[in-house]
Chain A
């Protein structure tokens, strides 16, 4: 049972990176400029790299005979435990940067705390990932400020993105049963503890970016329990196409 909780705890972290990495990867060749295109796919590759470390670890402790590829490509939609935020589509560049920013602030706080875990493998992954995530946050924060404090049009688009994505932020701080069990053992991070710090930091950036902080108290969640938004099925069909069509194919 302990392994099962650890397994689900790892997926809860890893799936966020996988799905966000997939979303950013969709921009390969379609970014707004050559430079931002490469930047977004760089971030995507960082995230997929982290995902691999997590899945390799999850595969190792899994009681079933699984590989990292099985975990990445062959689960059903309900078995992915990523938050709703990261699966939201790339409506426009403001959305891409808004989603990234709202996730990065959380992600860096999580990595920092995960360094104190009692699980050595998770500590090692966090230590390796923390520099990458720091850069992601710098990049997305800069863009939120640029667009928010840019032209009238860029401000309006950035505001639209923040307003549209705000409702998914609360889920970041909800704990699943596996999370709670792992927190109890000193392995997992109690993410609810840095919720306040998160909103303080996000609010500061949004203010500096000349953006209005959404007042809505309506939040939505479900991804952590496997109940995803309508976008997830399309994303997975892209992600899983090769393995489903050519089972066990390798590069």
Chain B
């Protein structure tokens, strides 16, 4: 048996309550139920998470690397978009 015919799924895991789901990796599975079970075994067996999302990779629309110039380069010289021009009091932590 081989799983060459199984579609690819992307796995997102929430490491603890309050945090967002983050991309952990991908795996093969025949359907969503199996993808969840496989994700549980492959990515959370060392107590990494409290919630799992899986989505079939083909459902993800990705940006085209050829368009990186127009998509991302214009942001490079706009430092004023970062809130770095304020003096934060020391008492304010975790900003």
Contact = CB atoms under 8 A, between A and B. Distances in A.
Interface residues of B, number: 15
B45 A42 contact: yes
Contacts of A36: 38
B29 interface: yes
Interface string A84-99: 0000000001000000
Given A142-B33, A142-B34, A32 B3 contact: yes
Contacts of A152: none
B47 interface: no
Contact of A35 (B2, B33, B41): B41
A35 B28 contact: yes
Nearest to B29: A35
B28 A42 contact: no
A51 B46 CA distance: 20
A32 B30 CA distance: 14
Contacts of A195: none
Given A33-B28, A142-B34, A146-B30, A39 B2 contact: no
A38 B27 CA distance: 12
A139 interface: yes
Nearest to A33: B3
Contacts of A38: 38, 41-42, 45
B27 to A, nearest CB: 5
Interface in A21-55: 32-36, 38-39, 42
Nearest to A35: B38
Nearest to A31: B1
Interface string B27-51: 1111001100110011001000000
A156 to B, nearest CB: 14
Given A142-B37, A146-B34, 18 more contacts: A32-B2, A32-B3, A33-B2, A33-B3, A33-B6, A34-B27, A34-B28, A34-B42, A35-B3, A35-B27, A35-B29, A35-B41, A36-B38, A38-B41, A39-B37, A42-B41, A142-B33, A142-B34
Interface in A108-161: 138-139, 142, 146
Contact of B1 (A32, A39, A139, A142): A32
How extensive is the interface on chain A, given as a class? 10 to 19
Interface of B: 1-3, 6, 27-30, 33-34, 37-38, 41-42, 45
B54 to A, nearest CB: 12
A39 B38 contact: yes
Contacts of A35: 3, 27-29, 38, 41-42
Contact of B37 (A33, A34, A93, A139): A139
Nearest to A150: B30
Contacts of A33: 1-3, 6, 28
